[in-house]
Amino acid sequence: EKTMEFFTGYVLEKSLAVDNIFVFLMIFAAFKVEPQYQHRVLLYGVFGAIILRTIMIVIGAALVARFEWILYVFGAFLLFTGIKMMLPEKEGEDDITQSFKWISKHIPVSKGYDGEKFFTIENGKRIATPLFLVVIVIELSDVIFAVDSIPAVFAVTTDPFIVLTSNIFAILGLRAMYFLLAD
């Protein structure tokens, strides 16, 4: 039974991760990230996703253990996001574009890339490169996707270990899947 729960959670996470790949592709195209630097960004993106999702799963598991009715809230949230996806989009900026603008206002960023470095020295000051912003934007996009996918796995099982491990194994394959589909 536990094996089936893990496998179902893994397949669910893996199938929900496919849209992450296309968002990553759009982010890399928007920032004009060279292919040789995409590996490094995705490596840090995967590590960050594991940390952020672990935090979200621990909080979700604590909520489910304390308030079992929260599963209905998760289900309602999934229905809401599904309905929202079916409706036509309004013109305007998406969450990722807004996040990027906010970050670039608060963190000094160099005009160009400095190889695969996340920080560089300009005018005697240490500032971020656009590659660092790409990592942040990728992390933010993963958090947005995790808000939908983690409750979906909680619908399969309330075992936090299975939710966490199925998420981690699905995330670990994202980088390889990206390079498979990106070409």
Do 150 and 53 contact (CB within 8 A), yes or no?
yes
pLDDT in tens, 139-158: 888 887 887 788 888 888 88
Nearest-angstrom CA–CA distance, 20 and 171: 10
Question: H-helix or E-strand containing 176?
Answer: helix 174-182
pLDDT in tens, 32-73: 888 888 888 888 988 988 898 899 888 888 888 888 788 788
Tell me, what's the pLDDT at 94?
58
Both tokens assigned to 140: 């933010």
Q: pTM score, two decimals?
A: 0.77
Nearest-angstrom CA–CA distance, 25 and 140: 15
Query: What percentage of the chain has pLDDT greater than the value 90?
Result: 10
Nearest-angstrom CA–CA distance, 39 and 43: 6
Tell me, what's the pLDDT at 5?
93
